[in-house]
Amino acid sequence: MDLKQIEKINAYEWEINQTAQPWMRVPVRIFSNEAMLKAALQDRSLEQAVNAAALPGLVGRVCVMPDVHQGYGFPIGGVAATEVQTGVISPGGIGYDINCGVRLLSSDLPKQEVVNVIEDFIRLLYQACPSGVGTKGVFRVNEKELKQICEQGSGWALKNGYASRQDIETSEDGGCIAGADWMAVSRRAFERGAEQVGSLGSGNHFIEVDLIEQVFDEQAASAMGLSVGNIAIQLHSGSRGFGHQVCTDFVHQFQSVSTKYHIQLPDRELVCAPLNSGEGRAYLAAMRAAANYAFCNRQVLAFAIRQTFEDCFPGHHLRNVYDLAHNIGKLETHQVEGRELQVCVHRKGATRAFGPGHTDLPQQYKKIGQPVLVPGSMGTSSWVLVGTETGMRKSFGSCSHGAGRVLSRTQAKKEVNGGQLRDELAARGITVQAGSLRGLAEEAPQAYKDVDQVIDCIEGAGLGLRVARLVPLAVIKG
């Protein structure tokens, strides 16, 4: 794939025509500026998007976000929608960390009340929120409780005193996707998930204490409780070993399923099953169970964060702004070429970004659109946006999920010294608590794209509008 094969639509939109390869059923639309597009050509991400355009039942276009980078089968930062009656579902189009997502909590606490105690606060948060590879969670659940978590998501946390009603109302899908089936989940997934409820994990998962540095939309910021000079906290985690096992199980199973249904694919990592088949329904049910597990996992972590915060800063409270998924497959209704269609939207490393007035939004956000959370790296800014009506038409109501990697974890560890990075961040006023220096090096700011450029592209393409810019004061990495 090279730039000559890509048609420029405007400064922020590019297209690979569906005639580029014989298997393509729809074109690929790339939301990017030219510089970031050229960078994306250095890995296989756009080639993967072209391959994904082979999936049966695709409608509209395959969409590629500016934070795109190479993944398993699908690119990370890819969006594709398949028609429910004739289309397929592909685990590779959702990812191994099912419902890896982000939550933002806002406060009325000004920065000056935090800066002198930030190291103590981040140490207490680190103790309250287990992190690291294979780490056990806040508590272990039995089989009955895990079944309830898979079916109820954050509703289980509400019933057990780990959530408020406002937390639930300001979570995507109310923190629970209907249609989960415990029986579709393997025993091994249960074994991995039982110990990890309320755990952060490792890799790019984090808890970050941020300063709200700028506000660009006063009305939207007010609705979200975001005020310049105050503290906010971001949480990024997913379905841990439970979701990973669900994906592993079905990727393995679908190797033969694609052959059974005579589905021809240019890449075996795209293995899939018809949505209306027994195998497709089983994956959808198991994926929803893992998604609900992730919603509950973030809710339990948020409860621990809130308790720690309110113990450290009496009289101040943390309010849930929004909780959203960015590795998920969802049945949604969209306008496609003038027709209203029910489709399965695969979002991998991409987040839902519904525009104003959508029926699925909480009442407080109906006028402004859905909050969209786009974290940067631990040394750079993060952004809060709102979804747009334009994005509903262009990208199935989807947006970027972060900055996007430019260095693999292996490359980052070779090029970055974790101890030196920690000292550099400290010199800039950013406190870091990490499980290992090698893990810290993997997530160095230079391993990621410029998130501000990503936001320029998103806003330039009309997929989202800026609300607020956050900058980090302290970061916890697994």
- Residues annotated catalytic, as ranges: 401
Half-sphere exposure of 288 (CA within 13 A, CB side): 23
- How far is 298 from 175, CA to CA, in rounded Å? 10
One-letter amino acid of 370:
Q
3-state helix, strand, coil in the chain (%, to 5): 40, 25, 35
Helix (H) or strand (E) holding 126: helix 118-128
Nearest to 155, CA basis, from 147, 163, 144: 163
10 Å Cβ neighbour count for 395? Answer: 31
Tell me the two tokens of residue 238: 């997913």
Can you tell me the distance from the alpha carbon of 128 to that of 130, in angstroms, rounded to the nearest whole number? 6
| Nearest partner of 243 among 280, 175, 196, 177, judged by Cα | 196
Shortest CA distance to 385 belongs to which of 406, 349, 416, 354?
Answer: 354
Strand partners, 398: 352
Cα separation, 249 vs 272, in Å, equals 13
Q: Are 476 and 207 in contact (CB under 8 A)?
A: yes
What count of other Cβ atoms lies within 10 Å of the Cβ of residue 11? 13
Question: How far is it, in rounded angstroms, from Cα 235 to Cα 232?
Answer: 10
DSSP codes, 55-69? STTEEEEEEEEEEEE
Task: Quote the crossing angle between the two packed helices 278-312 and 118-128, to the nearest 10°.
Answer: 140
d(CA 364, CA 213): 23
For residues 444 and 173, what is the distance between their CA atoms, to the nearest angstrom? 33
- Give the span between the Cα atoms of 242 and 194, in whole angstroms: 8
